[in-house]
Structures are given as C-alpha cells and as structure tokens.
C-alpha cells in the first residue's frame, strides 16, 4: 500500500481515508490527517461528529471499513490494539477499583520474577512523574478526580507508547481542577516528548492545550490548523460558530476584491476562505469582541447606526445586543465590550450607537 505522501516529511501518525459505518449511519467519511512526532493534536467537534470514533480507530478498538493507519512508519491498519503500541486515557479513566495506584500503573508491565525489580523501578518513576509518589498504595476511590486522572495517565505511559490517546480526559472533573490539569497534561506531554492525540468537545481545552486542532463535523475533518488560525480564520460558518461565537450578517453582496455591500454601505472583509464571485450573495461574519461601537453622533460612511436592545453583564466583559436601525428586516448583532470600555460608555437599553467592523476582522462566506 503506498499511502505515504512523498512531498511532506514522513509523519509519525498517518491516518488516510478512514471510513466507518454503523449500519446506515456513517460515523467517519474519508478522514485523513497526519500528526508529527512530539506534536499535541486535538480533535474537536460537537457530539456525534465522529471524534471518539476516529480515536478508537487509531487505537484499534474499532475497525475501519476503508483506509489505513500508520504509526511510526508501520502500517497498523489490521493489527489489534495490543500490537499498536498506543497508550489510552479514557474519559472515565477506567482505573481498576480493586488495585492500588501502583498496581494500576504496573498492570501492563511484565510481572515475571526476573522483571520484578525493573517493573518496581518503572512504577516509582512514573508515579513521581505525575507527582503521586506518596499515593502508591492508595486505591482509586480514595483519590481525588484529578489524582485518578494522573494515575490513568501514568498507566497509559507505562509501556512507553508511540502515541498517547486521550479521550475527553478532563470532562469528568470540576471546572477548577480542569483548568489546572490542562496545563499539567500539556507540560507532561512536552517533557516526555510523546506524540499525543486528544479528543474533546471543549473548545477552550483544545485552544489552550493543542499544538494543532482538527475540527470535525458529520464524520469529516472540516478544518485543521494551529489554534490561532482556527479561531481567527475559521474555514466555514460551522467552525466559526462552534469555536467562540460569531455574528453573521446576511444579505451582503460582493462588489470587488475584498469589498462588500451591506445595506448600501461598503464593508471591507479580510478573508474569503472560499473564493467568491463578484455580485455573489454573501454572509459577513464578525466576532462579538471585534465589533467597534461608539455612543451617539452621526454615522460615517463605513459605520452603521444601531440601537441597544439588551445588556448582559458578564463580569470581565459586557455583552451588548444591538439592532441595526437601517435594515429590513431588523438585523441583530452582538458585541462584547471589555469592562473598562463598558464603564466609559455607560450604555442603557434604547441608546443609539454607531458600529464599525474593523477591516481586518471580517470574514465573508457564500450565503447559505
């Protein structure tokens, strides 16, 4: 099988054209991607998008109908999980309740008499790595959620896997612990230099932890890139709306390269993920935090007049719901104001404001 891409340098994990069906439901539809050695890749998507299935296919727990998986240059497509050399951390951790932390970590290591000392050394080393040396003989139920998580991580790393697979590793934890563990896992992965693939539905988790993000929807990868790229240049309205929030202004038209018309006003858009023809109907997308607004006064040519309809206080920021006054039907748009700016403006429902969409922050998508 010659699936290796000859132009790029050999990737550590190569997933090529994976298709998986459950009865009539297609869970994965020709999924391909690569992961470099030592890279932390996060697969992000809503529930049912196929992200857990792709992890299970890579691990060998599910068998694909089509496509191939290569790990470290080895075609493992037909191999059982046991022979793929992967470490898995499950959402539930799946720690064995009747075994201590040390016994859990040692579970996959050779227990024969000759190897006993080496195994014991390895277990100590791993527990120290995750900061649980003192919890060797503690049972999982006596550990906190975060500690259980780390035991599961140590267990997954015990056999020095080629790839570490993390299935929603933080979703079972409290918000506070989750924040702290995000950094810990990332730090551990970087120190060990292990190649990792994490499945999550939490955009913040993906943005903060991953070197690269794959966004999935309906069994296909819809965009991949570094976190900044995914957030700032979403390839389509789905990605834009799933990661962060975005206003879509419908009823615009393309006038020329980078120029659009909305309600008789010119708007400059920086990005066109898919090429658009002049005269085509488009939606303009802008994130709430990018909307510039000022109180009262007359709107300049590139500004829009709007009325404040609702204010939602969110602590560090304030979400303002606005209605564009010159559009039919009325167009709603949301803007996030940092606390300081909100204090200066002191808005109240009913206030008239002027809006501006900064040229570099607008994306244009073909109208649905």
C-alpha 150/C-alpha 161 separation (Å) is 16
Binding mask 279-318 for another protein (x = CB under 8 A): ----------------------------------------
> Residue 99 CB, nearest distance to another protein (Å)?
7
Binding mask 128-147 for another protein (x = CB under 8 A): -x---------xxxxxxxxx
C-alpha 132/C-alpha 140 separation (Å) is 12
SS3 147: helix
> Residue 82 CB, nearest distance to another protein (Å)?
4
Binding mask 32-61 for another protein (x = CB under 8 A): ---------------------------x-x
C-alpha 146/C-alpha 298 separation (Å) is 55
Q: Is 99 in the site for another protein (CB under 8 A)?
A: yes
Q: Please, which of residues 151-180 interact with another protein by CB under 8 A?
A: 155-160, 177
Out of 65, 73, 83, 349, the only residue in the binding site for another protein (CB under 8 A) is: 83
Out of 46, 65, 121, 344, the only residue in the binding site for another protein (CB under 8 A) is: 121
C-alpha 212/C-alpha 43 separation (Å) is 9
Q: Is 108 in the site for another protein (CB under 8 A)?
A: yes
Out of 18, 27, 35, 88, the only residue in the binding site for another protein (CB under 8 A) is: 88
Cβ neighbors of 37 (< 8 A, separation 6 or more) are: 12, 195
- CA neighbours within 13 Å on the CB side: how many for 270? 12
Q: Is 245 in the site for another protein (CB under 8 A)?
A: no
Q: Is 279 left (phi over 0), alpha (psi -120 to 50) or beta?
A: left
Neighbours of 208 (CB within 10 A): 14
CA distances from 92 to 145, 202, 290 (A): 10, 16, 38
The answer to whether 142 touches 134, Cβ cutoff 8 Å, is: no
Scanning 26-34, 149-157, 268-276, 325-333 for contacts with another protein by CB under 8 A, the matching segment is 149-157
Q: Which parts of this chain interact with another protein (CB under 8 A)?
A: 59, 61, 80-88, 90, 92, 94, 96-99, 107-110, 115, 118-119, 121-122, 125, 129, 139-147, 155-160, 177, 191-193
């Amino acid at each position: 099988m010659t699936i290796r891409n000859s132009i790029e340098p050999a990737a550590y994990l190569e997933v090529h054209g994976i298709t998986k069906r459950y009865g009539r439901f297609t869970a994965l539809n020709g999924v391909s991607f690569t992961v470099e050695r030592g890279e932390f890749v996060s697969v992000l998507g809503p529930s049912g998008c196929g992200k857990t299935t792709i992890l299970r296919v890579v691990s060998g727990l599910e068998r694909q109908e089509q496509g191939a998986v290569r790990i470290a240059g080895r075609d493992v497509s037909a191999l059982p999980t046991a022979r793929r050399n992967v470490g898995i951390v499950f959402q539930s951790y799946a720690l064995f309740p009747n075994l201590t932390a040390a016994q859990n970590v040692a579970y996959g290591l050779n227990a024969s008499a000759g190897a006993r000392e080496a195994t014991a050394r390895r277990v100590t080393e791993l527990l120290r790595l995750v900061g649980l040396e003192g919890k060797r003989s503690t049972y999982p139920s006596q550990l906190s959620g975060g500690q259980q998580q780390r035991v599961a991580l140590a267990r997954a790393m015990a056999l020095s896997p080629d790839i570490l697979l993390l299935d929603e590793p933080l979703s079972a934890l409290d918000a506070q612990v989750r924040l702290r563990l995000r950094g810990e896992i990332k730090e551990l992965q970087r120190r060990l230099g292990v190649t990792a693939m994490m499945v999550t539905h939490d955009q913040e988790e993906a943005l903060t932890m991953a070197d690269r993000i794959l966004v999935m929807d309906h069994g296909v990868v819809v965009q991949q890139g570094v976190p900044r790229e995914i957030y700032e240049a979403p390839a389509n309205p789905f990605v834009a709306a799933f990661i962060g929030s975005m206003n879509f202004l419908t009823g615009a038209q393309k006038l020329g390269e980078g120029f659009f018309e909305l309600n008789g006003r010119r708007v400059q858009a920086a990005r066109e993920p898919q090429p658009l023809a002049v005269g085509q109907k488009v939606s303009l997308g802008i994130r709430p935090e990018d909307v510039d607004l000022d109180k009262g006064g007359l709107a300049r040519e590139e500004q829009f007049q709007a009325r404040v309809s609702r204010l939602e206080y969110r602590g560090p920021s304030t979400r303002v719901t606005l209605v564009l006054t010159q559009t039919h039907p009325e167009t709603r748009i949301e803007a996030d104001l940092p606390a300081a700016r909100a204090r200066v403006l002191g808005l109240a429902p009913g206030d008239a404001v002027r809006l501006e969409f900064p040229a570099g922050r607008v994306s244009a998508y073909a109208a649905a």
